[in-house]
Chains A and B, each alone.
Chain A
Amino acid sequence: MKLPLSYIARNLWTRRLTTALTASGLALVVFVFATVLMLDEGLRKTLVTTGEYDNVVLIRRASETEVQSGVYRDQATIAASHPSIALGADGEPLVSKETVVLIALNKRGTDKPANVVIRGVGKLGLALRPQIRLSAGRMFRPGSSEIITGSGIAKRFSGTAVGETLRFGQRDWTVVGTFDAGNSGFDSEIWGDADQLMQAFRRPVYSSVIVRLNDSREFDAFKKDIEGDQRLTLEAKREQSFYADQSKALSTFISILGMTLSIIFSIGAMIGAMITMYASVANRVAEIGTLRALGFRRRSILAAFLAESLLLALIGGAAGLFFASFMQFLSFSTVNFQSFSELAFGFTLNPAIVIKSLLFALLMGFVGGFLPALRAGRMKIVDSLRAA
């Protein structure tokens, strides 16, 4: 014999103010919890879409990022002649020798500079990254002082929209286009002609060489050849894992901080739920006695109060998720500790996060409601009937 759900829901409705206050506390915790998960997911998505699985990045051994790396021209040429590298339609190997440096740019409307990645690419640089589309203007002409900017940059930094100019390396560079890299890390970069940028920055070396393999299964052999070659001081990584490694520190930091906060906050919310449920039990002693006298079992009473607490948590959790889902319209930009450059990413909501957040809310409801429900279930019929 079970107590109907409508009885449970009506109990919450009777004490509307208390229900609303407790649920809003729970909602705030779930909001923080979900937002952190969404941020981490957004970061992961950005970095996974940055790299292509078939592409390989070659950088100087022991340098962790492209900015720290240096690849001499002769080494780049030797590496680019490896037979495992795919050939394009014109019989040219699919290789882009690139130079990557950071420049300090001011954000629009402020004088706060941030480090932005500027990447000089070869003529196949775009072909090697199929996710990139020009969204405005045109491609830069090779051999000229023209640049194109990623969509994340064009919005946030001054002098980076089509038609504007940037001054660095004793030259004025005209922005002739903006590109959209499908929310990948390239959206936070500026691209230009590799040889022109090397001249301007007086860096006679490339930073990295990007190659497309014939067959991605040849990667291990290719890596062994490159790293075993006495003439080269390079290491090879799949582009995807290269970018994933770049953000490990930031991702770890976000998740540890977020989880710590969620756990601390959940203590507060659980205490709130516990207070509410204890009061709910204390106010209904006679009611519980009557139910028991009618023949409802201890089990059903316990289940009813636990269900009330879980329902309360579910209301809070749903409200928290509802507000967290609006975070998807915002983007978040911060410095990536490892590459020392600005990176923009969004909040991504997916079914897994929805389920995790609701489970987290239910867990809080369970912990908060268990002891009060136990108390309700253990009442003696005679004593509780007297309590009215």
Chain B
Amino acid sequence: MQTLKLILKNAMRHKLRTALTVLGLVVATLAFGLLQTVVGAWYAGANAASNTRLVTRNAISLVFPLPLSYEARIRGIDGVNGVAYGNWFGGIYQEPKNFFPQFAISTRSYLDLYPEFVLNDDQRAAFERDRKGCVVGKKLAAQYGFKIGDVIPLKGTIFPGQWEFVVRGIYEGKNATTDTSQFFFHWDYLNETMLKTAKPRANQVGFYVVRIANADNAASVSRAIDTQFKNSLAETLTETEKAFQLGFVSMSEAIVVAIRVVSFVVIVIIMAVMANTMAMSARERLAEYATLKALGFGPGFLAQLIFGESLLIALFGATLGIALLFPVAHAFSAKMGTLFPVFEIAPRTLLLQFLAALTVGIVAAIAPTLRSTRVNIVDGLRSIG
């Protein structure tokens, strides 16, 4: 108890210095937590993937389509209990910077395969009835103010022309990690237009989503699908939805790695600041440490004092940083809109923040402790800080 009192008093001796150090720690833990959350947001698609869904696409690359006739053949493969298909539309809403994912989907089968997109029955029925209807996610609707009945014009880039869609439903996510920034419309509408304007491009599908009865059979069913179409004009590549999403992450892996590295750099910076603070405190108090030693206190007690102070400051700063992360992340997510469809703070991030602060506190106290325990009493009493 007495020791704790002494530590507290020591920490408050230089109010300005301690306050600045705490402020630095708050900024660092906050930045670290935010960067970790950004990296997490990158993996959101992969983390939300279901393990009973496979994605089949053209083996050459995603820009090549597959024939519509594959649907029935995939359905006939053992272990498959649902097939849907879709096309990436890639249209522009007003201007290129308003990017959000748009898919032309095989209406009913697609929505059945994705139970995490929660759409009430009336809206779903209205969407299914209207050829030009579309469904938008809650987050997307919030960003651009889409309401039921609005007409959304999109300029086609892959599929030329001016397209118009009527909002018939707004879906919500089943849980916090569901992506609600997407835009769905009828594949049939797209196909009819293609039949009129560019016949060779009609009856082509961008990707198939396949539901399997048993998640353990993912590998064998994938192989069965790919063997089915081997040596055809459009060979397929089938993988689990998670692997498919991770493929996108790995494309921009260099950026993810850079953000990860940089998030640790900020911890190193603050470690230098904290170590500096502790080194100064110890230097100023050498005479006191010598006095304590002369009174008979051992090196263990000095170590307790210095480590205690360092950890106290570090953990106090970190606690503030962690507390601030929630409002800051919320504001950041609101500002970024659909760029990060899912922006959730993972429990692991909070743990990492805490561990980082602990490390900073411990590392910062090492050098001053060594110095104070080694100092011999006569020299210490002579020192003038």
CB-defined contacts of A271 to chain B, threshold 8 Å: 20-21, 23-24, 27, 273
CB-defined contacts of B17 to chain A, threshold 8 Å: 275, 278-279
Nearest CB of chain A from residue B116's CB, rounded to whole Å:
26
Q: Does A210 contact B (CB under 8 A)?
A: no
CB-defined contacts of A68 to chain B, threshold 8 Å: 90, 157-158
A272, B272: Cβ atoms closer than 8 Å: yes
Which residues of A (63-99) have their CB < 8 Å from a CB of B? Answer: 63-64, 67-68
CB-defined contacts of B250 to chain A, threshold 8 Å: 112, 114
Q: How far is the CA of A46 from the CA of B20 in the complex (A)?
A: 43
CB-defined contacts of A340 to chain B, threshold 8 Å: 62-63
Chain A, residues 222-238, CB within 8 Å of chain B (1/0): the string is 00000000000100000
Q: Does B294 contact A (CB under 8 A)?
A: no
B27, A17: Cβ atoms closer than 8 Å: no
Which residues of B (69-101) have their CB < 8 Å from a CB of A? Answer: 90, 96
B254's closest neighbor in chain A, by CB?
A: A334
Q: How far is the CA of A334 from the CA of B253 in the complex (A)?
A: 7
Chain B, residues 243-261, CB within 8 Å of chain A (1/0): the string is 0000100111111000100
Which residues of B (220-262) have their CB < 8 Å from a CB of A? Answer: 231, 233, 237, 247, 250-255, 259, 262
A25, B269: Cβ atoms closer than 8 Å: yes
B35's closest neighbor in chain A, by CB?
A: A261
Nearest CB of chain B from residue A368's CB, rounded to whole Å:
10
Q: How far is the CA of A60 from the CA of B247 in the complex (A)?
A: 29
Q: Does B315 contact A (CB under 8 A)?
A: no
Nearest CB of chain A from residue B276's CB, rounded to whole Å:
4
Which residues of A (1-59) have their CB < 8 Å from a CB of B? Answer: 17-18, 21-22, 24-25, 28-29, 32
Nearest CB of chain A from residue B123's CB, rounded to whole Å:
31
Which residues of B (193-229) have their CB < 8 Å from a CB of A? Answer: 200
Interface residue tally for chain B (C-beta within 8 Å): 51
B251, A342: Cβ atoms closer than 8 Å: yes
A334, B255: Cβ atoms closer than 8 Å: yes
Q: How far is the CA of A204 from the CA of B198 in the complex (A)?
A: 12
Interface residue tally for chain A (C-beta within 8 Å): 52
Q: How far is the CA of A62 from the CA of B157 in the complex (A)?
A: 6
Q: Does A148 contact B (CB under 8 A)?
A: no
Question: Taking chain B's interface residues, is the majority helix, strand, or loop, or is none over half, making it mixed?
Answer: helix
A253's closest neighbor in chain B, by CB?
A: B255
CB-defined contacts of B237 to chain A, threshold 8 Å: 104
Q: Does B298 contact A (CB under 8 A)?
A: no
Q: Does A322 contact B (CB under 8 A)?
A: no
Nearest CB of chain A from residue B138's CB, rounded to whole Å:
24
Q: How far is the CA of A202 from the CA of B61 in the complex (A)?
A: 14
Chain A, residues 108-125, CB within 8 Å of chain B (1/0): the string is 000011110000000000
CB-defined contacts of A168 to chain B, threshold 8 Å: 60
Q: Does B275 contact A (CB under 8 A)?
A: yes
CB-defined contacts of A267 to chain B, threshold 8 Å: 24, 27
A265, B266: Cβ atoms closer than 8 Å: yes
CB-defined contacts of A283 to chain B, threshold 8 Å: 284, 385
Chain B, residues 335-348, CB within 8 Å of chain A (1/0): the string is 00000000000000
Which residues of B (255-285) have their CB < 8 Å from a CB of A? Answer: 255, 259, 262, 265-266, 268-270, 272-273, 275-277, 279-280, 284
Can you report 6 residue pairs joining A to B where beta carbons are below 8 Å apart?
A29-B269, A201-B60, A271-B27, A279-B280, A283-B284, A283-B385
